Amino acid sequence: MIYLDETSLVKTIDNINNSMFFKVPIPKNEKESVAAWIVTRLGQKGSYGGLFAPTVSDVRDPIRIFTGEVITSNASRSHIMGEEAMRVLKKLQIKSPEATLALEKSKDIMETILRREKSGMFCCGNCSVAYWRSLNSGCLDYSEERLSNGLKILKSLRDGKGRWRRFPFYYTLLALSEIDLPGVKEEFQYASQSMERTLNKTSKVDPYGSRRKRLVEGILSTL
């Protein structure tokens, strides 16, 4: 499989995330080519505050994030993809000077935007989840405290129906499934009936449906 698509940061990140999610080994040469290209997106036109920028083709239409939710806002799209790119670059573990410097610069950008505060939430639910994913991957400081604060906010936004107000259901579950902190299991238990209701409605043919089904089944098996 060729992971790098130089016409799209969205597709490139999705390719990497898919293999990581399904635990498919990524060849070293593919990791290196993707990492080298992501580095070149830092601060390009259309970036969020100087983070890794989507390409021209990425900004023409709404995008779908890994779990299938549609993002229509230009600001959200740029921020989410900037955070997702930072996370992927970190997880690829390429130790080149260029990759190391890009991670340091992107961290400084985000910490400046956050004003070094330990907030658990960004501007909206979609962006907050992307922020949590980069936090949990070790891209930013105060990760445990910020994530703990985020979990408290999430709990306060329960809608009483097994979901959360303002937060995208599956993308939120994806982030929670990677976080090892008190409070995560409580949110899973709260959302369990809602997750169970989705299983029979989720198509395995659709790639997003396949991911959602695997995600939900994996979480429910831990409860």
Question: Model confidence over 41-74: pLDDT tens digits?
Answer: 999 999 999 999 999 999 988 899 999 999 999 9
Confidence band for 200, pLDDT divided at 50, 70 and 90 = confident
User: What average pLDDT does the segment 104-109 reach?
Assistant: 98
Average pLDDT, the chain: 96
Ordered DSSP codes for 88-124: HHHHHT---HHHHHHHHHHHHHHHHHHTT---S--SS
pLDDT of residue 201: 77
Q: Which helix (H) or strand (E) holds 64?
A: strand 63-64
Q: Which residues contact 124 (CB under 8 A, 6 or more apart)?
A: 76, 166
Where helices occur in the chain by DSSP H, the ranges are 9-21, 28-40, 74-92, 97-114, 125-136, 143-156, 169-177, 184-199, 207-220
Task: Give the percent of the chain with pLDDT over 70.
Answer: 98
pLDDT of residue 6: 97
**For residue 154, what are its two tokens?**
């999430």
Confidence band for 204, pLDDT divided at 50, 70 and 90 = low
pLDDT of residue 177: 98
Q: Which helix (H) or strand (E) holds 70?
A: strand 70-71
Q: Which of 86-95, 97-106, 200-209 has the lowest mean pLDDT?
A: 200-209
Confidence band for 132, pLDDT divided at 50, 70 and 90 = very high
pLDDT of residue 203: 67
Query: What is the b/e burial string over 10-49, where b = at least 16 CB atoms within 10 angstroms of the residue's CB?
Result: bbbbbbbbbbbbeeeebeeebbebbbebbbebbeeebbbe
Burial category of 73 from C-beta neighbours within 10 Å (exposed 0-12, middle 13-18, buried 19 and up): middle
pLDDT of residue 147: 98
User: Does residue 162 register a pLDDT over 80?
Assistant: yes
Distance in angstroms (rounded) separating the CA atoms of residues 97 and 108 = 17
CA atoms 211, 216, 217, 219: torsion sign: positive
